[in-house]
Chains A and B, each alone.
Chain A
Amino acid sequence: MSSLGALRFHASVSLLGRAALRLDRLRTEHKLARMKSAGPHLGPPLMTSGWLKELISRHYLTGRYVRGVRKVAWVTSGAPVEHLKALGYYLMYPENHGAVCGIRRWGERQCLAAEDAGYSRDLCSYARTDFGTVLSGQTPVGRLPPPDLLVCCNNICQTVLYWYQVLAHHFQVPLVLIDTPFLYTEARPHMLAFVRKQIDAAVEVAERTAGRSLAPARLEEVMRLSHEAIGLWLKIMQTGRNRPAPITAFDEFIHMAPIVEMRGEESTVAYYRALLAELEERTRRGVGALQAERKRLLWDNLPIWYRLRPLSESLAARGVALVASTYTNAWGELVERIDPTRPLDSMAEVYLHPILNRGTGHKLATMARMLKEYQADGVLLHSDRSCKPYSVGQMDQQRRLAGELGAPALLLDADHNDPRAYSEEQAENRLQAFLEVLGA
C-alpha cells in the first residue's frame, strides 16, 4: 500500500466522505419524513431509503479511492464472495454497477460505447454497459477501481464466463472460474464435490493475490453475517404477503443492492434490521406500498431498470401491486442451505442452487408456490432479450400458469438495460390489455 494512496483514501473516504454522506442521509430522511407519498398513487416513502443511499454511495466512494489501498476483485452477482470479504478485498459488481447505469439512464450510452468497439448488440446489455464503462472510463459513480482479480461463477448464466474472459484479456489479471454444473434435476454428489474443490482452488488464488491467508474465524464471522442478512432479506420480502403489501418488488429492486454487493458486513445486517422493523410497523398500521391496492402480481426476471419508475407509477395508478419477484427472492430463498459452522461446504451447496442454475420446471414450481404464498392474481413475465437463461422457458411457463395454474400471465418484451430494445407503446398496450383481462 502506498502511503500517499492510504492517506488519500482515509482523507476522502473515512473522514470527509463518510461525514458528507451521513449529512446527506439526514437531509434525505428529513425530506422523506415530510413526504406524504412516494408518488401520486404510491404510499408513503420508505424512511430507510436515506440509509440505503448512504450505503450505496459509500460503496462507490470507497471504490473510487481504494486502488492501492485494498485488493480489488470484480465478481459476478452469484459468485461466492465470503472468502474474499474475509481476506479484505473490495468487491466490485459489474452487474450492480450496470443497474445503477440503467436507473440513471446511462445504459444506452454505455452500450453504444461497447458497440463502437465492435461488440454485438445481441450481447447482454449488462456486459455491454460494463465494456462501455471500461472502454470509455466514464460512469455516473465517478470511477471504478480496476480489478486485481476476477471471480466468475456461471451459476447465473454462461454469458458471465465469456464476459469475464474479455475483462481478463483487457486487464491482464487472473480469472478464477467457479464452474457450477447446471441442475436440470437435482444436484448429484459429484457436482457438489466438483464445486467444493473449486472453492478450495478459488481460496488459494485469492490468498495468493492478497498476499495473506484466510483466517477461519474471520470466514465464519463473514458467513454468519451473510447468513443473517440473507435471513433478514427473506423476511423483508415476506412482509409482501400482507394485504396491503407494505413493500413492492419495485422497492425490492432498489433495496436489494446491499444483499448482493455488501453481504457479510455488519452495516448490511443493521440496515436490513431497520428496514424489516419499518415494514413490520407499516403492516401493523395497515399501510400499503400503494395508496389503494386492488390486484396483486408476481414479477419474473430482471427489472427493466430504465423504466422502473414509470412502470411502478402506471401499475399503481391501476391499483396493481407487484407483491413479489422471483428475482429478488433468489437472494433470500437459499437461507436454509447456509451453515456458518461449515462455511466452505455450505458455500458449495448454496452457490450450486440459485434459481438460475436450475431447470425451467423448477422455476415454474417456484412461481406456483409464490403465487399461493403471496396470494397473487397473476404473473408479469419480463421476456428479457438480454437474459436468455432467465427468459427461455417463459413461453411454456406462461401457458402452464394461465392454464392449469389458473393465473393469468403476460410476457412483456423488453431488455433490462438497453432501452432501444423496448417499445413503450407496444408494452403499455399489452399491459393495459392484460390488466383488463385481470379486471384491474
Chain B
Amino acid sequence: MPNEIHVPSRREAIRAQVQSGGGLAAVFPYHPPRALLRAHGLLPVEVWGPPGRSSSRGDAHLQPYTCSLVRAGLSFLLEGGLDQARVVLVPHGCDSLQGLGSVLLDFVKPAPPVLTCYLPRGDRALDRAFLADELRELDARLAAALGTRPDEAALLAAVEREERADQALGELLEGRARVGLGEEAFYRLVRSREYLPAEDFAALAGRALAAPAASARPARTPLVVSGLVPEPMALLSVLEAAGATVTGDDLACSGRRRYRPTQGPEPFARMSEGMLSGPPDSTRGASVEARLQHLRQLARAAGARGVVFLTLKFCEPELYYLPQLREGLAQDGVRALSLEVDLAEALPAPLVTRLEAFVETLR
C-alpha cells in the first residue's frame, strides 16, 4: 500500500548517518557536488531555509532585501543548527549565496570549515573543464579539512550511486500518476533527495513506483510547477484540495536537478559533466528561450494549461525571466501564476486565494 512508504525525516537521516560513524556536510543550494562529499564520508544535507523560522539572527548580517532563503539559513547556522556538520558548503549560485559564503568566510567564521565552489554559467567544453578543476580543488580542501583521501575507484563508485539516485528521481517525477500519494506526501518523498543517502533514496523511489496505486485518482487539473522550492509545503495540499495535481516539475530543488548519467574513467570530469547536464536553469545561466522550450515541453507532456511559479521575494534568478516566460507560454494558451513567498512565513491567506482562483480559471 502506498501509505506504508515511510519517508525518513531530515532528523532521522542525520541520526542514522551519525550513528553509523559518518559525518555530515551542510550544503546550500543549488547544485551540490554530492558524489564528492559522499566519497569523503560525508552525507550532504541540504539547507533550504529551513522554512517557517525566524530569520532574526541572520538579519544582523544581511540586509532585509536579501532573499529569505539565505537569511533563514544564516540564522539557522547562528542558532547552532549546523553545529553537527563537519563542513559547510556554500556553492556559488547567485548574488545572495555569494554574499552568504563571503560573510561566513570573512566575518561570521563558524566552527565547521566553510567551503565554496563556483558553478560556471554555461555548459561549453571550457565550462565543464573549469568545473572539473574547481571540484579537484574542493577535493583537496576536503582532504585538508578531514584527512580523507578517496581514491579514484571510490570517487567513481560515488558518482555511480548518485547517478542511480538521479535516475530514480526522474522516474519518480515521470511516474507521478502511478504513485498513489497525495501532493504533499509525494513531494516529501521527492524532496528526501535533499538529505537521504543516494542509495536509500533510489530504493525508496523504487518502492513508491512499484506499490500499486490504492485506487485510480479522480480526474484532476494538471499543473506544471516552477520556481525554487514548494514552500510552504501546505501550498501543495491547497492545490490538491482545489482539484489540481502537479504533473510537471521545473523546481530548482527537484526537476531542475534531473542530471543525466555520464560515462568515462575520470571521476571529476564525470561529476562536472553531470552537474551541468540538468534541465535549463537560470542559476547556470540558461537563456530565456531554453527555459521557455523546457516549460513548453513539460506543459505539453503533462497536458497542463497552467504553470505556477513559486518564487522567493528578491530571488533575481527567477524574477528576471518571468515576464518573457509568461508571454511565451501565453502564446501556447498556457497561463502562468506567480506566487511570491517568504520562507520565514507560514502560509499566507492571499496566496491560498490566488492558487485556488488560478485553478478555478483552468477548469
Q: Do chains A and B touch in the complex (CB under 8 A)?
A: yes
Contacts of A163 in B (CB 8 A): 320
- In the complex, are the beta carbons of A166 and B95 less than 8 A apart? no
Q: Is A289 an interface residue (CB 8 A)?
A: no
Interface size class of B (residues with CB under 8 A): 35 or more
Complex CA distance for A165 and B283, rounded to whole angstroms: 12
Contacts of B103 in A (CB 8 A): 360, 392-393, 396
Complex CA distance for A182 and B93, rounded to whole angstroms: 11
Q: Is A19 an interface residue (CB 8 A)?
A: no
For B311, give the chain A residue with the smallest CB separation.
A120
5 smallest A-B Cβ distances: which pairs?
A392-B99, A361-B106, A162-B320, A118-B323, A190-B133
- In the complex, are the beta carbons of A201 and B126 less than 8 A apart? yes
- In the complex, are the beta carbons of A179 and B99 less than 8 A apart? no
Tell me the residues in window 40-96 of chain B with beta carbons closer than 8 Å to chain A beta carbons: 60-63, 65-66, 92, 94-96
Binds A, one of B19-27, B114-122, B185-193: B114-122
Q: Is B149 an interface residue (CB 8 A)?
A: no
Contact among B66, B99, B126 for A198, CB-based, below 8 A: B126
For A362, give the chain B residue with the smallest CB separation.
B106
| Shortest distance between the CB of B121 and any CB in chain A (Å) | 5
| Shortest distance between the CB of A207 and any CB in chain B (Å) | 18
Binds B, one of A76-84, A151-159, A332-340: A151-159
Contact among A177, A191, A383 for B122, CB-based, below 8 A: A177
- In the complex, are the beta carbons of A184 and B94 less than 8 A apart? no
Contacts of A422 in B (CB 8 A): none
- In the complex, are the beta carbons of B288 and A154 less than 8 A apart? no
- In the complex, are the beta carbons of B324 and A360 less than 8 A apart? no
Q: Do A159 and B316 form a contact, CB below 8 Å, given A117-B323, A165-B288, A194-B126?
A: yes
Interface size class of A (residues with CB under 8 A): 35 or more
| Shortest distance between the CB of B123 and any CB in chain A (Å) | 11
- In the complex, are the beta carbons of A123 and B319 less than 8 A apart? yes
A-B contact pairs, 20 of them (CB 8 A): A118-B322, A123-B316, A123-B319, A123-B320, A127-B320, A169-B287, A170-B324, A175-B287, A181-B134, A182-B98, A188-B137, A190-B137, A201-B124, A383-B63, A391-B65, A392-B63, A392-B99, A393-B103, A396-B61, A396-B106
Contacts of A120 in B (CB 8 A): 319, 322
Q: Is B285 an interface residue (CB 8 A)?
A: yes
Contacts A119-B323, A179-B285, A190-B133 supplied; 19 other A-B pairs, CB < 8 Å = A119-B322, A161-B285, A162-B316, A166-B320, A177-B121, A181-B134, A182-B98, A182-B116, A184-B116, A194-B133, A201-B126, A360-B107, A361-B106, A364-B106, A388-B65, A388-B314, A392-B96, A395-B61, A396-B103
- In the complex, are the beta carbons of B282 and A162 less than 8 A apart? yes
